[in-house]
Amino acid sequence: MKTTAFAADPQIQKHRWWILVAVCLFTFMSTLDGSIVNIALPVMSKDLNIPMNQAEWVVSIYLIVICALLLLFGKLGDIYGKIRVFKLGSILFILGSLLSGFNSGLGVLLAARSVQAIGAAMTMSTNNGIITEVFPFKERGRALGMIGSFVALGSIAGPGIGGLILAHLSWGYIFWINVPVGILAMILGAVILPKDITTTQQPLDKAGAGLFAVLIVALFAGIFIGQEIGFTQPTILGLFAVALVTLVIFIRVELHHDNPLLALQLFKNAQFSISILCALLIFIANFFFNVIAPFYLENARGLEANYAGYALMVFPIVQVVVAPIAGTISDKIGPELLTFVGLVLISISQIGYMVVGLATPLWFFLFFVGLVGFGNGIFMAPNNSIVMSSVPVKDLGVAGGINALARELGMIVGISVATTVLYSAMSRTAGYKVTSYLPAHPEIFIDGMHVAFMVSLGICLVATVITGVRLMRRSRG
């Protein structure tokens, strides 16, 4: 393995911020496409002449394919070069975006979304590793903070951007908007991205890759279909059983493989494990907000969809501003204290959501929306810095893949748990089974919302306590 470092190459250092721009553009687009489609599903359902539950697979297939392949492409990045994998992924993402915009039936659309997801997985799993290699240690937090900003913006800006596109154009443009932006980013990347110098050339763990894909597909097919037909159906129980058995086999294979897909020894590193766990928990909590806030603003408070979208944009806008600043500060004082402060602020915001009601001034609600964006901005960049700085260079691709996987898993688990808790709490209050918003009884929704955010607060507190204990041990040591 060559040991020449990008951080020591003056030519690469001259272009390092442009490299960050190219990487951030694809990071933004690939995360945006996980959330932008939701708002277009009713229109797509009508245009494609399919029921809503089938239309929802346009979102589900994208998330499943990304999760199934993140570790594989992270490992391939370590073996053959992260920049090579990133460039190929950008081409596939643009191609998938182009094909997804054509109204050629559900089958073609799902196939195109799968191509798009493969490209997204290739760029998501390698972006943090590329930036960690390119930027010197003293600027790494700031650079990773910028990536975190674009992840946040992409994850939550979907409904707002999607709504603006649908107001003037057909649903195909939700995907086609990626094509010109992607081509510009690809040209920029072709000019300024260097050739890979850190490769391991180890054999690929094909058995591990196959088992992990089966595990993810079985688990998430069970979750998504179970939400439609009930989690006690034999089919769903069978899918969960397959996922459990596959998980056991996967762990055994990885423990005995010389070059495993998932280097389980990375989790012996407490810094790495705690940071990944906290990232997972916070993304779960964030998607409680993503699911519930539109109901609160549009249904319970009667805001127009575009105004609700503007209100929800407070979260990513604040995070985008704060994250690079937090990253810069973490480069100077270290990341541990900042991650703890960020988690405390996120936890306080959940308490705020638990006390809002039908008559609460909107500015009060928006204050806590801004506070959660502020907390996330302070937490994410230093946390990413801890993850990527706690592993050897040869494992940066896998570490980046695991980090991205925590984000995508958090998204799926957050959406699933939030809807389950919300409707269960509403059903308990109503005295009968509730599976949607009840226009005549907004107070039932408010009760369910309070319970859901109580659960979300509990999730945040677990992350806060774990990080607080780490900080105390570090200060004593």
Phi, psi of 172 (to 5 degrees): -60, -30
What would the DSSP string read from start to end of 386-450? Answer: HHHHSS-GGGHHHHHHHHHHHHHHHHHHHHHHHHHHHHHHHHHHHTS---S--TT-HHHHHHHHH
**How many Å from the N-terminal Cα to the C-terminal Cα in the chain?**
35
> 316 in helix, strand or coil?
helix
In the prediction, which pLDDT does 361 show?
A: 92
| Structural contact between residues 320 and 153, judged by C-beta atoms closer than 8 angstroms | yes
**Concatenated DSSP letters of 230-291:** -TTSHHHHHHHHHHHHHHHHHHHHHHH-SS-SS-GGGGGSHHHHHHHHHHHHHHHHHHHHHH
Closest among 202, 210, 209 to 79, alpha carbons compared? 202
Mean pLDDT split into 10-residue runs, the chain, 477 residues: 56 81 83 76 82 78 89 86 89 94 89 94 85 79 75 71 79 88 85 73 85 92 81 90 94 86 82 90 88 82 76 81 83 84 94 90 92 90 81 74 82 83 88 80 89 94 92 77
Q: pLDDT value at position 342?
A: 92
Residue type for 106, please? L
Residue keyed to tokens 């690929």: 204
pLDDT of residue 455: 95
Contacting residues for 365 by C-beta, under 8 A, at least 6 apart: 296, 311, 352, 353, 356
| Among 78, 83, 69, CA closest to 398 | 78
Joined together, the tokens standing for residue 178 give: 């990626």
CA distance 150 to 358: 33
pLDDT of 466 reads: 92
Is 234 exposed, middle or buried, given 0-12, 13-18 or 19+ CB atoms closer than 10 A? exposed
pLDDT of residue 305: 67
SS3 180: helix
- Contact present, 139 and 19 (Cβ < 8 Å): no
Residue 156 confidence (pLDDT): 66
Give CA 24 to chain center in angstroms.
14
pLDDT of residue 354: 92
Greatest alpha-carbon pair distance for the chain in Å reads 68
